[in-house]
Every structure is written in structure tokens, then in C-alpha cells.
Amino acid sequence: VRKVSQGSTLEDLLDALLSGELVFLIDGYCEFLSVDAYSPEGRAVTEPTSQSIVKGPKEAFTEKLGINIALIRKRIRDKALRSEYLTLGTRTKTKVVLMYIDGLAKKEIIDEVRRRLNAIQIDGILETGYIEELVKDNRYSIFPTSLNSEKPDTVAGCLLEGKAAIFVDGTPFVLTVPALFAEFFQASEDFYHLYHISTLVRLFRYMALALSMFVPALYIVLAAFRQEMIPTPLLISMLAQREGVPFPTTVEVLMMEVVFEILREAGIRMPRVIGPAISIVGALVLGQAAVEAGIISAVIVIIVSITAISSFAIPNYGMANSARIVRFIMIIIASEFGLMGIFLGTIALFLELCRLKSVGVPYMSPFAPKAKTAVKDTLLRFPMWKSAARPEGISADTSPRVNAQDIVTAKQKQQPEFK
């Protein structure tokens, strides 16, 4: 039994019955008791499918709300952990839970999240994507402003930083807000390895983002407008490969990008056994056939392959999708305005990122506005004893999370002196 509640209206009685609860009615009383003993059949706790890891817990959320909350409480055994239950959807009556740690999360942020959830008027909530879109600060932005995860340790880490988590019954994905730009390039596994390795991997992820967005556009600029910037031997090789190709460079790039996106989508929708084979083998076969037929040049296949592999290195699927949209925009800008267009497009991209907010918190924090304590866990992962502070502007608790210096000092004092 998870919950026992009391009601007195016919509407409350119908809601309890439609939710699968056990209702007790006593003759002569105008009130009733409802017992939440509903235990539907569902998927057991398994490994995460969308966030693969090498080291760390290999548990994932399920479609059962009670199990998901239990997975968090198993990791955070704190009496200050709060769970607020809501019901959204006039027809689906979907159970939604707002979870946070009282004393760590800022009251203003929790109040704002609660207000936005209560303001949702919709006939049905079937997945966290509904809430993610409805509570978004900048609704027309292509960048995600809430973190989506199916790993309990990731959500627990966000709660310990003073953030809020939104659970929806019937989906294994949980939203955490506020979500900052730098957090979309972090993984829970970063904190399970030494900081040297994690820092190097994070730099590779940012490099992958830049390659994913700008490589095709830069190739168009160099091949069509700035050929003098290409080394002469490489330019001769590129011109020899393009001999007989009937399409301009921009059309070549767009053709291959569209074909690869179709193959990627086909690989996702196909059965898991043959899906990856279709996307990889299909790209190789079609690319080789197109080169041999003289439709595209071989260097285009290399450019598109680098772009695709780089997009796979971005740990968050929502941010990877945003990079795909930016890539196509940059291709069009580069084909029309050349190198200056890429510069102006990059400036506009940074201005857009600085304009965004996540539940009122600046999206580019701690870079804009700058916060010295939080910078230590963004581009680089500093050692834990160097990045003990919680994120400024998000957490209400300013006390350090780690006091490792005292441990080292105490150990040094206990060491015996040898003469």
C-alpha cells in the first residue's frame, strides 16, 4: 500500500476508481477511504537503453512511477527529500511528481516550477515531452532547456545540486530543471572516473559539437569561395575528384546529409537487431555507389561521415538534434554568404544561447553571467576537492559539498614519524 487518502465528493470517488485504487464505503458515512494498492504489470528495472555507460550503476527507470521514486529514495536517504503529487490531463488523469530536496533547492525555482505545472491545461499527458514543451521558457528555441534522463544516478546528482525533478507515470524518462548548456555535455560517468580522463572526454565532446555544426559549412566555403586557403596538393586532389560531378558543392553536401539523416531515422525505426546494420552498411554502400557513379566526390562522403560520427559523440540526444538543425542552417548560410556568413551565423548562435533561460536561470551560466565557483565543473572537471561548491543561482545551500582537505590533513597528522 503506497497511499491512503480520504474523499467526500463524487468526483474524488470516480478519480480513485479510474486510477485503480481500492475504495471503502461505509453505510451511514458521507466520506470514503481510497487505498492505492494498484500494482500493474510492467517492465522490470533493466540497463539504460539510451544512455550507455562503461562504469557506474546500470539501473534505469521504468514505466512505473512508484518504482522510479523508490530508485531515487534508495540513493538519497534524506528526510528533506520532498515528493509533491499532481494530476495533469483532463482525460488521462496522469500522475506527476515534483521532487526536490528541501533546503538545497531554491524556493523561488520550486515555486516557479510548481506554478507552471499547475498552469498546464491539456486533455492528456502521455510522456515527459509534453511537459518539457509546455513549461519551456523560450518556446520557439531549438535548444533543450530541461535535461531528460532515464538514469537514477543522474537524476539523484541533479537533486543534490539543488535542482527539481519531474516524474511522469508511464514513462522511464525524468525531467530535471534548471538545465544549463554545459550540462548537456556531461555524463554521470564523468564522476566515476579520475578527473584527468573526464576532462579530456569533455573537451572531445565540445569538439564533436563544433565539428557536427560547422564542418560541412566550412567545406562549402573553402571549396566554392576560398580555394586559395586550401594547400595546393590537397586542392589538386579535390579538383580531380570533382571532375565529372554534375552538381555544385552545396547540392552535394545537402544530398548526402539528407540521405544520411534518412538512413539514421530508418535505423532507429527498424528492429534493434538489423537497425544499426542498415544505417552503417547503407551509408557505406550508397556513398561508394554514388562516388563510382560520379554523382558526388569522395571527399563529400568523408565530410558527412565526420559530421555524423561527431554528432554521435554528444551525450544528450536533444542537444544532438539541435546540432543537426544548426548544421543545415549553417550550410545554407555558407552557400549564400560565404565565410562572413559563417562568422555572423556563429555570433547569432551565441547571442541566442545567451538569451535563453531555464526556469528563469540563464542558460549559459556560469559563463554568462560568470560564476567562478561553478566554472570548475563545466568545460573541465576539476578534482572534487576543488569543485566542492554547488551551482550559484540554483542551490539555496552555499556550504561545500566535499571537505576533502580535512581528510588529507588528518591523514598526514596520523602518519608515524620515522627517524
233-272: pLDDT as tens digits: 888 888 888 777 888 888 989 988 898 888 888 877 777 6
Candidate from 210-214, 264-268, 396-400 with smallest mean pLDDT: 396-400
Q: What band does 419 get if pLDDT is binned at 50, 70 and 90?
A: very low
Whole-number pLDDT of residue 415: 56
The cell for 165 is 525533478
Say yes or no to pLDDT of 277 above 80.
no
Q: Which residues pair with 95 in a beta bridge?
A: 87
Q: How far is residue 191's CA from residue 188's CA, in Å, rounded to a whole number?
A: 6
Domain residue ranges of the chain, discontinuous segments joined by +:
1-39, 47-179, 195-358
Q: Which of the two residues, 368 and 94, has the higher pLDDT score? A: 94
Say yes or no to pLDDT of 25 above 60.
yes
Of all residues in the chain, the percent with pLDDT exceeding 70 is 90
100-146 pLDDT per residue, tens = 999 889 999 999 999 999 999 999 999 999 999 999 988 899 999 99
The cell for 300 is 563529400
Q: How far is residue 200's CA from residue 356's CA, in Å, rounded to a whole number?
A: 27
Nearest to 195 by CA among 415, 412, 402: 402
* Backbone dihedral angles phi then psi of residue 195, each to the nearest 5 degrees: -65, -25
Q: For residue 196, give the amino acid letter.
A: H
Whole-number pLDDT of residue 229: 82
Length of the chain: 419
Q: Please check whether residue 235 is in contact with residue 260, taking contact to mean a CB–CB distance below 8 angstroms.
A: no
Q: Once rounded to an integer, what is the mean pLDDT over residues 320-345? A: 93
The cell for 208 is 564533436
Q: Considering the chain, what is the average pLDDT of its residues?
A: 85
Helix axes 298-312, 317-355, angle to 10 degrees: 80
Query: Most confidently modeled of 82-96, 243-257, 293-307?
Result: 82-96
Residue 311, SS3 per DSSP:
helix
Q: How far is residue 77's CA from residue 2's CA, in Å, rounded to a whole number?
A: 18
Q: How far is residue 6's CA from residue 112's CA, in Å, rounded to a whole number?
A: 29
